[in-house]
């Protein structure tokens, strides 16, 4: 099949590359000339493990190409995917659909033959029907259907998630569109991965409900971690104990500095807004949003305590600033709340992250970027582990402690233990949900 993919951001590029690896002919379209030129040179604009190799393979095989010309991409295409951004709209928390509707208008202008218009972007319930009406109004003669196909890709593991998904969700209105979507995902069907075919509204809702539930699990365990610190419990043991219950499961029960990224913050806000608009308040989701922000601020208090109540004129090494490891994505990362608070408090902040500088340089002002964690810790008053990159999971803690002016550590991902830190020579150590930090 020939597929057109509108948008070469994270979702669009990963999806386009993977569809081409299924054997389809995929043309990725973007309005940014510099990005298309870069892609045609074989350069990947995002960091995603394995994506560059897979892209090169399918470009070389002639199955994958990149263009600015949507009309050319649509010629002969049986499906066109809309994978553009739906950022949170400023002021009201709703998803901004302007890019989605603009893409729909262009499809209506250039499409000639029957095509299934598939929304890959995360959109509020009812959006696909809006797309259908907009296309029908702009081009009454066009023969087309719409479909909803939300993505469930984890940054850092996106290719694995696409090729071996927990499930594929497809929302359609008729058998004709369902058949096209079934053919697109035929390689997964043959390997017996679950494909859920449902109506448009249910497909749209599944995406929001899934992300809100996962964000709730993260926020719940962070609240329990805060209580553990007061009562003397160990959140790692608590997480293990409840995660062994099959009804709960052990995923997304790792306490930390709060969730971030491209999906959870945006989608929880959008779901809360959808509930308000339909007079069905999403009270749990609204509370999750509130508690997540409080969690980030609680981390700042923890760092202040380790610095004797003030970070003014303190040198602080921050290890990891992306919202999670194996990505360069900084969207809504806890670091965007924590690091500016340190800088604003008068601290001299050094940042070390394997991929974070690509986006972080424009977002974190007044910091010094250092590639080596040991250099970052030299003469520092505090080391903060903020993102659990593999590079930070096996640090020589003794070497770190010896290099520091004041050997204090805030382990906000619970990578190490108080025993490890004390044995290495740290005189103060704080983590998440494991009682008060020790101090010699």
Instruction: Please identify every residue annotated as catalytic.
Output: 263
Here the tokens at position 357 are 């500088």
* Chain centre to alpha carbon of residue 270: 15
188-220 exposure pattern, b = at least 16 Cβ within 10 A, e = fewer: beeeeeebebeebeebbbbbbebbbebbbbbbb
| Alpha-carbon radius of gyration of the chain | 24
Cα(67)–Cα(137) distance, rounded to whole angstroms?
27
Other CB atoms within 10 Å distance of the CB of residue 362: 9
Cα(252)–Cα(217) distance, rounded to whole angstroms?
6
Here the tokens at position 166 are 């927990």
* Chain centre to alpha carbon of residue 343: 25
Backbone angles phi, psi at 86, to 5 degrees: -130, 65
Q: Which DSSP state fits 290?
A: H
267-300 exposure pattern, b = at least 16 Cβ within 10 A, e = fewer: bbbbbbbbbeeeeeebeebbebbebbeebbebbb
Among residues 356, 424, 425, which one has the least CA distance to residue 386? 356
Distances (CA, A) of 300 to 204, 258, 259, 294, 327: 36, 12, 15, 10, 24
SS3 at position 21: helix
Backbone angles phi, psi at 271, to 5 degrees: -65, -40
SS3 at position 82: strand
Dihedral angle of Cα 213, 85, 262, 248, to the nearest 10 degrees:
20
Cα(47)–Cα(54) distance, rounded to whole angstroms?
13
Other CB atoms within 10 Å distance of the CB of residue 78: 16
Cα(70)–Cα(111) distance, rounded to whole angstroms?
9
């Amino acid at each position: 099949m020939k597929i057109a993919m509108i948008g070469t951001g994270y979702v669009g590029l990963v999806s386009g590359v993977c569809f081409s690896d299924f054997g389809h002919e995929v043309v990725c379209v973007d309005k940014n000339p510099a990005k298309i030129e870069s892609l045609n040179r074989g350069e990947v604009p995002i960091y995603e493990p394995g994506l560059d190799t897979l892209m090169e393979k399918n470009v070389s095989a002639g199955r994958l190409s990149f263009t600015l010309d949507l009309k050319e991409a649509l010629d002969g295409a049986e499906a066109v995917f809309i994978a553009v951004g739906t950022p949170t709209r400023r002021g009201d928390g709703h998803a901004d659909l302007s890019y989605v509707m603009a893409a729909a208008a262009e499809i209506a202008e250039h499409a000639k033959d029957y095509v299934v218009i598939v929304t890959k972007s995360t959109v509020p319930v009812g959006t696909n029907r809006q797309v259908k009406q907009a296309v029908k109004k702009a081009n009454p003669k066009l023969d087309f259907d719409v479909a909803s196909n939300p993505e469930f890709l984890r940054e850092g593991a996106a290719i694995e998630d696409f090729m071996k998904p927990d499930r594929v969700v497809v929302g359609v209105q008729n058998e004709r569109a369902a058949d096209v979507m079934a053919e697109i995902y035929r390689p997964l069907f043959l390997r017996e991965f679950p494909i859920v075919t449902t109506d448009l509204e249910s497909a749209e809702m599944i995406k929001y409900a899934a992300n809100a539930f996962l964000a709730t699990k993260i926020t719940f365990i962070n609240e329990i971690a805060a209580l553990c610190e007061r009562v003397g419990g160990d959140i790692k043991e608590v997480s293990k104990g409840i995660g062994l219950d099959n009804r709960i499961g052990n995923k997304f029960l790792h306490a930390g500095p709060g969730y971030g990224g491209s999906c959870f913050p945006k989608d929880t806000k959008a779901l809360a807004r959808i509930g308000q608009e339909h007079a069905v308040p999403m009270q749990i989701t609204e509370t999750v949003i509130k508690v997540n922000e409080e969690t980030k601020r609680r981390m700042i208090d923890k760092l202040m305590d380790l610095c004797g109540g003030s970070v003014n004129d303190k040198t602080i090494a921050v290890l990891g600033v992306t919202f999670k490891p194996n990505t360069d994505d900084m969207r809504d990362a806890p670091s965007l709340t924590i690091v500016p608070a340190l800088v604003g408090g008068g601290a001299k902040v050094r940042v070390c992250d394997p991929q974070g500088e690509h986006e972080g340089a424009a977002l974190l002002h007044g910091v010094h970027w250092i590639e080596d964690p040991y250099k970052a810790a030299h003469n520092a008053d505090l080391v903060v582990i903020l993102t659990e990159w593999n590079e930070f999971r096996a640090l020589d803690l003794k070497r770190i402690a010896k290099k520091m002016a004041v050997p204090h550590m805030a382990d906000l991902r619970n990578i190490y233990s108080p025993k490890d830190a004390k044995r290495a020579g740290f005189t103060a150590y704080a983590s998440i949900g494991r009682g008060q930090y020790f101090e010699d």
